[in-house]
Amino acid sequence: RRRSSAEPEFLQAVREVLETLEPVLAEHPEYIETGILERLVEPERQLIFRVPWTDDAGRVHVNRGYRVQFNSALGPYKGGLRFHPSVNLSVVKFLGFEQIFKNALTSQRIGGGKGGSDFDPSDKSDAEVMRFCQSFMTELVHHIGEHTDIPAGDIGVGGREIGYLFGQYRRITQRYEAGVLTGKGLGWGGAEVRTEATGYGAVFFAEEMLLRVGDGIEGRRAVVSGSGNVATYAIEKIQQLGGTAITASDSSGYIVDEAGVDVDLLKQVKEVERSRISVYAERRPGAHFVATGSVWDVKGELAFPCATQNELDAEHARSLIAGGLRAVAEGANMPATPEAVALFREAGVLFAPGKAANAGGVATSALEMSQNAARSRWDRDKSESRLRDIMRDVHASAYDASVRYGRPGDYVLGANSAAFETVAHAMLAQGVI
Ligand code: NDP
């Protein structure tokens, strides 16, 4: 705590995990005796570097780059890169810490890491984004590789950015090492369903939770935040399973579309034109845009927070619960505040924490790595059915652990304890390193 006093997001993520581990530690005193907890909260390595780049007018800018290589007990570091003005060491460390447990839940033998920069790609030209990515990779190249550390996308890092990063990696190393980055384009080493995997996976997880209590997605109204990679494909899968996703948002506000969000229009506005979400409402009869308040003011039976950390607080939780909420699946990382999570659990709302619900993205990244290593490519059906199986298994291990530790259906306890046991067991076996 003393060492990380200026890292609020990181401390929040650590507290959330440690508070639920009491029953595991009571059963396994050896994890305390061997300092597993102290080792787990300290990254194996943290890199901070200068990223200078030139804008279209010839002016020089300097951003800060990060890569936190948190834990490699289960495999090479794996986790995304985030480009957003809010990125700092605390944010990268919280994401890297969460990633250790998420990756353990996928059973794909990958360790945890995360990185990024306080660069904002949203108001830059393609050429500026390219020069920034090239500069970022010029340093990162020394620290990554298919057997050491494999970055992917996150907020502000999609297919365009991964392309520029990969091009520079290839140019500097003079090697076509496809497995060094995931989220690549389908024509040059990417995997089917990787783009969709996080959003689809969150909906699959919600479906598993609902099926367990004799319910499903079909016929239900869902409130979704965000309009990026995760939100878009969560909305798509909700509609495919017969539900109605009625909202989407960005940092300028949210839209409500009672008929169900038109996914093609959403993709056109956000992915192709890179416009604000209000443009969706301008073009879609019956939809309206709201610039004030929060998307969580809208009532629904299902909630999928898919934008960013701490976007859903206690007040939002109360309003959702009063509106008849049944289930929440976190597509984003740590979007619900601890107070909101406590309210959901007290009210008996099914609650899937991000490290379980959004694990489909990184799991499919691991499948991309396998395909790269085997120089093969799976078709869409096989890729989606593997994703579905993995999400079913993630759900089962979180649920089974919640039963084992006496609180059936408490997915926070279940996900944290199942993931911790896997990582701690490997760390114990590998000695004090
Ligand atoms: P994108 O950049 O594609 O989209 C992010 C969305 O969230 C945008 O609509 C953005 O709006 C909104 N948003 C971001 N920051 C803020 C903010 N501070 N306030 C309000 N809105 C904000 O990112 P992704 O969809 O990839 O990521 C979303 C979440 O999912 C993140 O928490 C990420 O860590 C998590 N995640 C992503 C995975 C992936 O595979 N991509 C895997 C697992 C988790 P605007 O454009 O206005 O900024």
Query: How do residues 321-375 score in pLDDT, each as one tens digit?
Result: 999 999 999 999 999 999 999 999 999 999 999 999 999 999 999 999 999 999 9
Q: Is 308 in the pocket of ligand 1 (CB under 6 A)?
A: yes
The residue to mutate among 154, 276, 364, having the most atoms of ligand 1 within 8 angstroms of its beta carbon, is 154
Supply φ then ψ for residue 61, to 5 degrees.
-125, 155
pLDDT tens string 208-260: 999 999 889 999 999 999 999 999 999 999 999 999 999 999 999 999 999 99
What pLDDT sits at residue 226? 98
Q: Cα separation of 37 and 257, whole Å? A: 46
| pLDDT value at 5 more than 90 | no
Reference 201, options 334, 360, 331, 351; nearest CA is: 360
* 3-state SS class at 94: helix
pLDDT tens string 132-144: 999 999 999 999 9
Q: Is 199 in the pocket of ligand 1 (CB under 6 A)?
A: no
Structure tokens at 147: 């057997």
Q: Cα separation of 284 and 123, whole Å? A: 25
Q: Is 198 in the pocket of ligand 1 (CB under 6 A)?
A: yes
The strand pairing partners of 115, in sequence order, are 67, 81
pLDDT above 70 covers a percentage of the chain that reads: 100
- Measured CA to CA in angstroms, residue 220 lies from 28, 136, 223 at distances of 42, 43, 10
Reference 281, options 256, 303, 250; nearest CA is: 256
Report how far ligand 1's centroid is from the alpha carbon of 302 (Å): 19
pLDDT tens string 27-82: 999 999 999 999 999 999 999 999 999 999 999 999 999 999 999 999 999 999 99
CB 419 within 8 A of CB 104: yes
Report how far ligand 1's centroid is from the alpha carbon of 376 (Å): 30
For atom 43 of ligand 1, the residue with the nearest CA is 358
What pLDDT sits at residue 324? 97
Q: Is 297 left (phi over 0), alpha (psi -120 to 50) or beta?
A: alpha
Q: Is 255 in the pocket of ligand 1 (CB under 6 A)?
A: no
Which is the closest atom of ligand 1 to the Cα of 231? 25
With cut-offs at 50, 70 and 90, classify the pLDDT of residue 189.
very high
Axis crossing angle, helix 8-20 with helix 338-346, rounded to the nearest 10: 30
Supply φ then ψ for residue 122, to 5 degrees.
-65, -30
Report how far ligand 1's centroid is from the alpha carbon of 308 (Å): 5
The residue to mutate among 103, 108, 160, 251, having the most atoms of ligand 1 within 8 angstroms of its beta carbon, is 251
For atom 21 of ligand 1, the residue with the nearest CA is 251
Structure tokens at 93: 């460390």
Q: Cα separation of 297 and 281, whole Å? A: 18
For atom 19 of ligand 1, the residue with the nearest CA is 251
Q: Which residues of 32-43 are buried (b: 16+ CB within 10 A; e: fewer)?
A: eebebbeebbeb
Report how far ligand 1's centroid is from the alpha carbon of 82 (Å): 9
Report how far ligand 1's centroid is from the alpha carbon of 305 (Å): 10
What pLDDT sits at residue 4? 75
* 3-state SS class at 43: coil
Which value, in Å, is the radius of gyration of the alpha carbons in the chain?
A: 21
CB 339 within 8 A of CB 313: yes
Across all residues in the chain, what is the average pLDDT? 97
What pLDDT sits at residue 1? 63
What pLDDT sits at residue 2? 67
Q: How far is CA 181 from the centre of its chain?
A: 16
Residues annotated as catalytic (active site), given as ranges: 114
The residue to mutate among 250, 277, 330, 364, having the most atoms of ligand 1 within 8 angstroms of its beta carbon, is 250
Q: Where are the beta strands (DSSP E) in 132-204?
A: 149-152
For atom 39 of ligand 1, the residue with the nearest CA is 154
CB 223 within 8 A of CB 251: no
What pLDDT sits at residue 215? 86
Q: Which residues of 75-114 are buried (b: 16+ CB within 10 A; e: fewer)?
A: bbbbbbbbbbeebbbbbbbbbbbbbbbbbbbbbbebbbbb
E strand or H helix at 15, and its extent?
A: helix 8-20
With cut-offs at 50, 70 and 90, classify the pLDDT of residue 3.
confident
Q: Is 332 in the pocket of ligand 1 (CB under 6 A)?
A: yes
What pLDDT sits at residue 326? 97
Amino acid at 157: V
What pLDDT sits at residue 34? 95
Q: Is 387 in the pocket of ligand 1 (CB under 6 A)?
A: no
Q: Is 190 in the pocket of ligand 1 (CB under 6 A)?
A: no
**Mean pLDDT computed over 120-132:** 97
Q: Cα separation of 135 and 145, whole Å? A: 17
| pLDDT value at 389 more than 80 | yes
* 3-state SS class at 293: coil
Report how far ligand 1's centroid is from the alpha carbon of 32 (Å): 36
The residue to mutate among 155, 266, 295, having the most atoms of ligand 1 within 8 angstroms of its beta carbon, is 155
The string of DSSP letters for 198-252 reads HHHHHHHHHHHHHHHTT--STT-EEEEE--SHHHHHHHHHHHHTT-EE-EEEETT
The strand pairing partners of 47, in sequence order, are 67
For atom 28 of ligand 1, the residue with the nearest CA is 307
* Domains, the chain, ordered by start: 43-191 (3.40.50.10860), 195-357 (3.40.50.720)
Q: Cα separation of 295 and 318, whole Å? A: 14
pLDDT tens string 246-288: 999 999 999 999 999 999 999 999 999 999 999 999 999 999 9
Q: Is 353 in the pocket of ligand 1 (CB under 6 A)?
A: no
Q: Work out the angle at residue 17's Cα, subtended by the Cα atoms of residues 337 and 294, and round it to the nearest 5 degrees.
A: 15
CB atoms within 10 A of CB 49: 17
